[in-house]
Structure 1
Amino acid sequence: MSNVAGFCADEFAAVRTAFTEQVESGAELGAALCVTVDGDPVVDLWGGHADPERTTRWGADTLVNTFSITKTMTALCALLLVDRGELDVYAKVAHYWPEFAANGKADIEVRHLLSHTSGVSGWATEFPFSDIYDNESSAALLAEQEPFWEPGTASGYHANNYGHLIGELVRRIDGRSLGRFFAEELAEPLGADFHIGRAAQYSERIATLVPPDFGTFDQDLLPKDSVLYKTLFQPLLDFELCATPGWLDAEIGGTNGQGNARSVARVQSVISNGGELSGRKFLSAKTIDLIFDQQADGVDLAVLMPLRFGIGYGLSQPHTAPEVPQDGRVCWWGGLGGSMVVNDLDNRVTVAYTMNRMAPGLIGSDRANAYLKPVFAAVRG
């Protein structure tokens, strides 16, 4: 009996072969892969197991924590408000959130938050990781602090607080929380099984994560005043919390979205399909063009790797994402452990990959690359 299920169009047969090899070899514990063209699935595969004991098969409706893929959903929420004229990416954050102007942040613009260039990439003080579940109080802390570097001059990946920053703008403008806004404006209209918060009710369908082995590392060796330390270690992600009801129900728009490849591809196809999906116009071409307004290109101050950001998404970068197409209108992002989404607007293609055995490294993985390569060979020749 094969450990892989689903369907694959004939022209993407090499994609199914690559996915099957990774699942059957055990490189994947459990995973899902979806490719859409013109908004419709042409590859929808899943396989392996949802638990490390291999007692539960990964099913068609298995969900998993997608970590920073959630940021693309959060960015899309912001772009919806932009398209409606309720949010201006070139306006000051303080126009919508007056308290944010404190301590040298009065001139930070919305685009700086969306492109990880605001200087507010984390919290200035240490506290328990579970404190970030309270969006309003943890956002208030961000509003009070000074930026870690001169805003707009470089990127510093907003690893844990991206959703707190953008979510607070959504709440101030719309009145709904980020998770509710996403559910009502994107997930439900699109029939997408992706959730930012309120996910404990789906716990029986959520795959168990197997954290990566980062080896032995003494965080005390890091300078406490470095952007890296303040971003990634204040607070440090606690994998043991990622299966708890508190984590699943919190609306952490940067890190805790629960979904699968099909749901990720469904929502993100709004971008690759030119803003329109299932007969509904979500975004105009003008709003989508903002994604490709480059805001930063260089070594990121928080994760110390080359990154290139537009507004809301990563842009092609040959060193960090070698299998993401380097030409044309392509935007992408990856989640901790290797999950990935890529939107190729020129070919109206979205690729999404989710899994529960996490690879080491902050962005991308060898397994993700193994799938992206045959997908774009088929699409681009």
Structure 2
Amino acid sequence: MTEIHGTVAPGFEAVRDAFAANWELQGEVGASVSATVGGETVVDLWGGTATFDDGERDWESDTIINVWSTTKTMSFLCCLLLADRGELDLAAPVATYWPEFAANGKEQIATRHIMGHTAGLSGWDEPLTMDDLLDHDKLVALHAAQAPWWEPGSASGYHAISQGYLLGEIVKRVSGRSLGTFFADEIAGPLDADFHIGTGPELDHRVAHVIPPAFGLGQDPDAAEIDRDSIAWRTLSNPATDAAFSSTIPWRRAEVPAAGGHGNARSVAAIHTLTANGGSVGGQQIISPDGLERIFDVQAEGMDLVVLGTDLRLGMGFGLPGPMLPLPNPRTCYWGGWGGSLAIVDMDLGLSFSYVMNRMESSLTGDLRGAGVLLAMYGALAG
């Protein structure tokens, strides 16, 4: 039986049990789970093994790993913080801050369209390789010149990778800093949170490798049946994403604000403690409560054009309770990462919950491991 390390507060033992059960029932390899309630840590657990360049090691308290799209939640906070300070108008045309972006019919696309996956820029016209994902300037220049793939604002289409470059360029134009630097200076640094968008060499010894899923994005075994002209195919197959690339040094060093963040459940939960508690953590007011309320400005509802068959309700960046994830409280927001990582913020309960692991599933929409631990968390809070 896998040894589980860390602590749980009295009354939350069922969360530990559900976490431990993942090794017995769900093929877990290495993972961490953390939760805060009202700003206090009630769960901080880790266990299993992590794979490194020099062989297999235990998953330690300070192990960090690429969390894929859970990174997006950090990018959302950067934009919400700039908006809260009056430096970024989420409803203003992006071209207000990035004039080149107005080309090819994009004059009225606003930051809120990018935050809500409705901008029509879920991918690129030009064929790309994985190495191109390391070149921020190339990708934003391509998008500045490109026409949207559907009428902006009319529907969501998951901007799986592109969202981060777009938001990153907006943050850079507004603040003068890259999104990774802005995040480190204004959010992670003040909170002393071990989460990084652009990971330096001093952290390499703590970075676990992901265990890739059975197939990568754009490598679906049923791809022969997919329309090659569809928005879904054009988004997810260019480039076809190999999860193993995230274990390379160039990927770690790059800032990929939609998919390249490195952290663990403790750091994700610590950052979203401010989201769950009116922007305040440990006496520090990072963002105002009104600034966070923008999360619940609904940007899209209905079937997504990229994640086919998925009925999404999207706020300002974050997902909101709806058909895909019918969470119990209305003032709850969430997002997750390819393979299974998860961040849940329940403002009604003051709850920040995160689950991070190394063995990836193929799904973009979560899996039973994080869901089971989350259900145990809500059960403990109810009990």
Normalised by the length of structure 1, the TM-score is 0.95
Per-residue deviation, residues 40-89 of structure 1 (Å, max 9, x unmatched) = 21000000000299831100000011000000000001111011100011
Counting matched residue pairs gives 378
Q: Shift of the alpha carbon at 1:26? A: 6.6
Q: Find the aligned partners of 1:54 and 1:309 in 2 and give their Cα distance.
A: 41
- Residue 5 of structure 2 aligns with which residue? 5
The 5 A counterparts of 1:299-318 are 299-304=303-308, 305-318=310-323
- Residue 81 of structure 2 aligns with which residue? 80
- Residue 370 of structure 1 aligns with which residue? 372
2:150 is equivalent to residue 141 of structure 1: no
More displaced stretch, 69-78 vs 127-136: 127-136
- Residue 19 of structure 1 aligns with which residue? 19
- Residue 335 of structure 2 aligns with which residue? 333
Q: Find the aligned partners of 1:220 and 1:358 in 2 and give their Cα distance.
A: 23
Per-residue deviation, residues 305-337 of structure 1 (Å, max 9, x unmatched) = 11110002010123x235xx2432000001000
Aligned-residue CA RMSD (Å):
1.8
SS at the partner of 2:11?
A: helix
Which amino acid in 2 is paired with 1:45? L
More displaced stretch, 235-244 vs 51-60: 51-60
- Residue 287 of structure 2 aligns with which residue? 283
SS at the partner of 2:297?
A: coil
Per-residue deviation, residues 128-154 of structure 1 (Å, max 9, x unmatched) = 121121112211101110101100011
More displaced stretch, 216-225 vs 294-303: 216-225
- Residue 245 of structure 2 aligns with which residue? 241
- Kept after mapping to 2: 8 A contact 1:321/1:364: no
Q: Find the aligned partners of 2:278 and 2:360 in 1 and give their Cα distance.
A: 32
- Residue 67 of structure 1 aligns with which residue? 68
Q: Shift of the alpha carbon at 1:285? A: 2.0
Q: Find the aligned partners of 1:48 and 1:34 in 2 and give their Cα distance.
A: 15
More displaced stretch, 16-25 vs 125-134: 16-25
Q: Find the aligned partners of 2:25 and 2:48 in 1 and give their Cα distance.
A: 10
Q: Find the aligned partners of 1:70 and 1:301 in 2 and give their Cα distance.
A: 22
Among all aligned residue pairs of Structure 1 and Structure 2, give the percentage whose two residues are the same amino acid.
Answer: 46
Which amino acid in 1 is paired with 2:155? A
Q: Find the aligned partners of 2:64 and 2:55 in 1 and give their Cα distance.
A: 16
Q: Find the aligned partners of 1:50 and 1:116 in 2 and give their Cα distance.
A: 33
Q: Find the aligned partners of 1:220 and 1:2 in 2 and give their Cα distance.
A: 40
Which amino acid in 1 is paired with 2:379? A
- Kept after mapping to 1: 8 A contact 2:48/2:59: yes
- Kept after mapping to 2: 8 A contact 1:199/1:258: no
More displaced stretch, 167-176 vs 234-243: 234-243
Q: Which ranges of structure 2 fall in alignment gaps of 5 or more residues?
A: none
Q: Shift of the alpha carbon at 1:206? A: 1.2
Which amino acid in 1 is paired with 2:57? T
Which amino acid in 2 is paired with 1:247? W
Structure 1 residue aligned with 2:350, among 339, 345, 348?
Answer: 348
More displaced stretch, 153-162 vs 226-235: 226-235
The 5 A counterparts of 1:1-381 are 3-24=3-24, 27-51=27-51, 55-214=56-215, 217=221, 219=223, 221-304=225-308, 305-318=310-323, 320-322=324-326, 325-381=327-383
- Kept after mapping to 2: 8 A contact 1:23/1:47: no
Which amino acid in 2 is paired with 1:151? P
Q: Find the aligned partners of 2:188 and 2:254 in 1 and give their Cα distance.
A: 17
Per-residue deviation, residues 272-309 of structure 1 (Å, max 9, x unmatched) = 01111121111112211110011111111011111110
Which amino acid in 1 is paired with 2:301? D
Which amino acid in 1 is paired with 2:245? L
- Kept after mapping to 2: 8 A contact 1:5/1:46: yes
Per-residue deviation, residues 153-195 of structure 1 (Å, max 9, x unmatched) = 1100110111100000010011111111111111111011111
Per-residue deviation, residues 72-126 of structure 1 (Å, max 9, x unmatched) = 0000011110111000111111111111111111011110011111111111221
- Kept after mapping to 2: 8 A contact 1:3/1:23: no
Which amino acid in 2 is paired with 1:351? F
Q: Shift of the alpha carbon at 1:351? A: 0.5
Q: Shift of the alpha carbon at 1:221? A: 4.6
Per-residue deviation, residues 209-246 of structure 1 (Å, max 9, x unmatched) = 11112496264553332111121111121223111110
Which amino acid in 2 is paired with 1:192? A
Q: Find the aligned partners of 2:12 and 2:227 in 1 and give their Cα distance.
A: 48
Which amino acid in 1 is paired with 2:365? I
- Kept after mapping to 1: 8 A contact 2:278/2:288: yes
Q: Find the aligned partners of 1:31 and 1:315 in 2 and give their Cα distance.
A: 25
Which amino acid in 1 is paired with 2:330? G
Which amino acid in 2 is paired with 1:107? Q
- Kept after mapping to 1: 8 A contact 2:127/2:238: yes
